[in-house]
Amino acid sequence: MGTSAQKHARQKDRRSRLEQAQAEMERKAGRRRLLTGLGAGLAVVALILGVVAMVGGGSTDSSGDGSTTTLATTTTVKDAAALPTPPEGLTLSEATPCPPAAGSAKRVQKFAGPPPTCIDPAKKYSATFETTEGSFTADLDPARAPVSVNNFVVLSRYHFYDGVPFHRIVPGFVIQAGDGDGEPWGNNDLGYSIPDELPASSDEYKDFSLAMANAGPNTNGSQFFVVLPGGGPKLNPANYSLFGQVTQGQDVVEKIGTYANGEAPTKAVVIKTLTINES
């Protein structure tokens, strides 16, 4: 989960960037006093959200322009929900063993390195997300993305995702989760990263696709997102590993995708359990 000093440093960096952005906007506002009113107010709010969204990691594109975004916790957003801190977990100091297929006894929050290959290429895998808003199931695609699927299966069987909220919701684009540390959301320290497994084009990001979020090339870890209807064309195929497809409970995904103001969740939606099905 990283040291308190490291997390404090990340929080301090975000506060500094936000303060700089706000100061710049105040200077600009002084030159635009004649433009006050509702229209100007909305523009300032949009600018604040845009600047703050461009700091941090563990993110996905915002509008197809190739930029990466996340929402810093220092931002005050109207109606934003208070997200629960994920439960405490173990920190592994040695090489990660394959967890039992039935799930491990204790939650692991940080690892000493990437997991070994634990999935069987001859078997099929799916993941059932039981959330506070209902359940949905995604078929995983180890043929397309064997490293990503193996990683996701291992983390799920170590209960890494249990108790973790969707910390980023962008209507018409994505719902994002997988930060197992808590605030500042979108910057968890998993202890390792895995390489990209990229699709050929943005056409492969279908409605309800499951993909890895990241902070740049080959920085995938635990964070993932589900593509909301119409969101696929906004994703750059050079950025995000595609590893699954929601096949049941799409209505639940769509419902979760409505709980947002900008990118801030207006309702805390938590993954109660994430179960891997093997056949």
CATH number at residue 48: 2.40.100.10
- Residue 121 is predicted with a pLDDT of 87
- Residue 58 is predicted with a pLDDT of 54
The secondary structure of 193-249 as a DSSP string is -B-----SSGGG--TTEEEE-BSSTT-B-S-EEEEPTT-GGGS-TTT--EEEEEEE-
How far, rounded to the nearest angstrom, does the alpha carbon of residue 246 sit from its chain's CA centroid?
A: 16
- Residue 78 is predicted with a pLDDT of 78
Q: Which residue type sits at 187?
A: N
Would strands 174-177 and 224-227 be described as parallel, antiparallel, or unpaired?
Answer: antiparallel
Inter-residue long-range contacts of 206-210, CB under 8 Å, 24+ positions, other chains counted = 206/232, 206/245, 207/231, 207/232, 207/250, 208/138, 208/245, 208/246, 208/250, 208/253, 209/242, 209/244, 209/245, 209/246, 210/138, 210/140, 210/242, 210/243, 210/244, 210/245, 210/246
- Residue 276 is predicted with a pLDDT of 97
Calpha distance 131→161 (Å, rounded): 11
* Structural domain harbouring 255: 1-279
Low-confidence spans in the chain with pLDDT less than 70: 1-76
For the chain, what is the domain count? 1
Six token digits for residue 115: 């997991």
DSSP state at residue 179 = -
Q: Is 88 left (phi over 0), alpha (psi -120 to 50) or beta?
A: beta
- Residue 9 is predicted with a pLDDT of 53
Six token digits for residue 273: 């359990």
- Residue 76 is predicted with a pLDDT of 57
| Radius of gyration of the chain, Cα coordinates, nearest whole angstrom | 19
Would strands 108-110 and 90-91 be described as parallel, antiparallel, or unpaired?
Answer: parallel
For the question of whether the overall pTM of this predicted structure is more than 0.85, the answer is no
